[in-house]
Amino acid sequence: MGIEFLGNKRQLEDFIISNIKNHTDSNCINCLDAFSGSGSVSIALKKNGYSVTANDFLASASVITSAVLLNQSEPRFEKVITKEHIETGSDPYNSVLNYLNALEGKSGFVYRNYSPASVNNSDIERMYFTEENAKKIDAIRMKILEWKDYLEKNEEALLLTDLIHAVSGVSNIAGTYGCYMKYWKKKAIAEIRLKKSEIIPGKLNRHYYVTNENIDNVIGNESYDIIYADPPYTKRQYSAYYHLLETIVLYDNPEIEGSTGLRNWKEKSSDFCYKRKAPRALERMLSKAKCKYFVMSYNDEGQIQHEKILEILGKYGEITVKEAEYKRYKSNSASNQRKDVIERLYILRMEK
């Protein structure tokens, strides 16, 4: 099971890629995916022959996208296999996953803070994971950390991504990590197990990079043919709603607080989530952008009104707008929400 971030573009990949192809020059192949999230658009760009640099401020998002972009074939894990004397046969990747799946659970940070065992040190019984799964998550994460000097960057990203996907599959949540369920969902009591991720080969002579930065620190550093931006569009801060995935990836034993065990998320908050700050954030990004085309996904429920987006983009060149209707991401079952939303793709041919 893959992780789906709020507003992920998996449903809209064909719509986005076809319009990028139809409204940009055919020799434009060098792209920046400025808010890569779960990596769905970066994957689609890679599949369609583009060179891709992907950026996201969340470590968990950057790891997921690194696994997709930096692996052109299944890695061999040679140093780890030698270190642990793992019998591989013809499938080293699967052998390493089997080794991790067979580890005995450990009482680490996840077990102590995000399973019912949390009641022992906080008087709060958090039910994100069963105690057994939490121990296994700790054991696997500790082992990957122990292997750090024996893993290439692409190998480490792949194993962490497999762990994130497995964690997502047994998380006792309604959709995000903003809260946990008060009863055990069926999927949450299943045994956590790492499975292979799909490896997507890229086109020859294409290049793939991943950065983990605030977009303000990245956007003007390099020139691109196309910058694709899918900024946050609601008030919900990704760094808060996915705090637990950040903690598992970073495994930095952060100070946590509240009933959900929230780490400090404000240092990674996005101005795009604030109605008054979002227009200025878009303006700031455009003023720094070095590209032939600036392409932005944004839906009709976002913090910035359509007319305001046109006003801001219009200062920089000629705009084409395409629309697609799709079913909303639902992190809960609130019945008073619209079932469908309109996604707009703003394609700006830069004139500056």
According to the 3-state scheme, what is the secondary structure of 56-99?
CCCHHHHHHHHHHHHCCCCCCCHHHHHHHCCCCCCCHHHHHHHH
257: DSSP letter: B
In this prediction, residue 234 carries a pLDDT of: 86
In this prediction, residue 53 carries a pLDDT of: 98
Encode pLDDT of 297-318 as tens digits. 999 989 999 999 999 999 999 9
When pLDDT is averaged across residues 164-180 and rounded to a whole number, the result is 95
Encode pLDDT of 243-267 as tens digits. 999 999 999 999 999 999 999 998 8
- 120 or 9: whose pLDDT is higher? 120
Domains defined along the chain, listed by start: 1-57+204-231+269-351 (3.40.50.150), 103-197+232-268 (no CATH)
In this prediction, residue 333 carries a pLDDT of: 47
In this prediction, residue 16 carries a pLDDT of: 96
The helix or strand, by DSSP H or E, that contains position 348, with its residue range, turns out to be strand 340-350
In this prediction, residue 289 carries a pLDDT of: 97
In this prediction, residue 312 carries a pLDDT of: 98
Computed over every residue of the chain, the mean pLDDT equals 93
CA 28 – CA 292 distance, rounded (Å)? 8
In this prediction, residue 121 carries a pLDDT of: 87
CA 161 – CA 342 distance, rounded (Å)? 30
- 267 or 227: whose pLDDT is higher? 227
In the block, which residue shows the tokens 């619209």?
338
CA distances 233 to 69, 82, 100, 122, 254, Å, are: 25, 47, 38, 34, 28
